[in-house]
Amino acid sequence: MRVSVIIPTHNEAEAIGRVLADLPSNFVTEVIVVDSNSHDGTPEIAAKMGARVLQEPRRGYGRACLTGLTAANAPDVVVFLDGDYSDRPSELTILIQPILDGRADITLGSRRRERRSVGALPWHQVFGNRLAASLIRLLYGLDITDLGPFRAGRADVLGALGLEETTYGWAVEMILKGALAGYRVIEVPVSYYPRIGKSKISGTLKGTIGAGWFILSLIVRYYFRRRIGATPKPA
């Protein structure tokens, strides 16, 4: 089973070393760090630790993830992970186990309260995640609680979904398209800790509002697209 790990980065020099060091090497085939104009040495640290570093000068979290996905070398499973050490890379095996067992096509790391460090998520991010997850449960019937960045999917499924969101909407596109196409999307409880360094999303008002707008509007847009019959056919 070939497992590719994709890590988008922008100025994560303080954390990227710890992220790469904690990845379970016996499960991971390749690590791709997609860097967006870091000026603090992040790419150099990642390359020194054995990751394949790609430069993606165009802005957008989703764009970085798509760049890594396109460059992945014939994986069976693809894992997406932030480079700030808020999720624990050592829990990758927990995240992908349902896929390896044949019980899931896409798995989402759920940052549940009992496994989340105090202060790891600001109140407005907790509220936004709950609102988005509630809308997905209501409109799509998919039982999820969180939109965490630590997630995995079968490579053939991700390819079939035609992922294209380059913005913060990436957080929900995989979930919505997967659910609409009839794939098995399940949550796996993971730990979550305060990130190292300042968040580019929740750490700024602009980032928070931008992420919320793209996520909520995409949930509604895909719902009405389904209502008018323009949804993907079940797998």
pLDDT digits (tens, 9 = 90+) for 53-79: 999 999 889 999 999 999 999 999 999
The answer to the question of residue 120 being in a domain is: yes
Strands 3-9 and 151-154: unpaired
pLDDT at 193: 86
Closest to 219 measured CA to CA, from 159, 179, 162, 166: 179
pLDDT in tens, 176-221: 999 989 999 999 999 988 878 665 554 555 666 767 777 888 888 8
For residue 94, pLDDT beyond 60: yes
For 31, the 3-state DSSP assignment is strand
50: alpha, beta or left? (left if phi > 0; alpha if psi -120 to 50)? left
Number of domains into which the chain is organized: 1
Amino acid residing at 179: A
What pLDDT is attached to residue 115?
62
* Positions of E strands within the chain: 3-9, 30-35, 52-55, 77-80, 106-110, 151-154, 185-189
Residue 235 in any domain: the answer is no
Which residue would you say has higher pLDDT here, 131 or 212? 131
Helices H, strands E: what count in the chain?
8, 7
Whether residue 233 lies inside any domain: the answer is no
- Are 9 and 85 in contact by the 8 Å Cβ rule? The answer is no
Q: What confidence score (pLDDT) does residue 120 get? A: 62
Structural domain for 39, as ranges: 3-227
Q: What is the pLDDT of residue 24?
A: 95
Give a yes or no: residue 149 inside a domain: yes
Average pLDDT over residues 101-123: 78
Q: Is residue 103 part of a domain?
A: yes
Query: Is 232 inside any structural domain?
Result: no
CATH of the domain at 129: 3.90.550.10
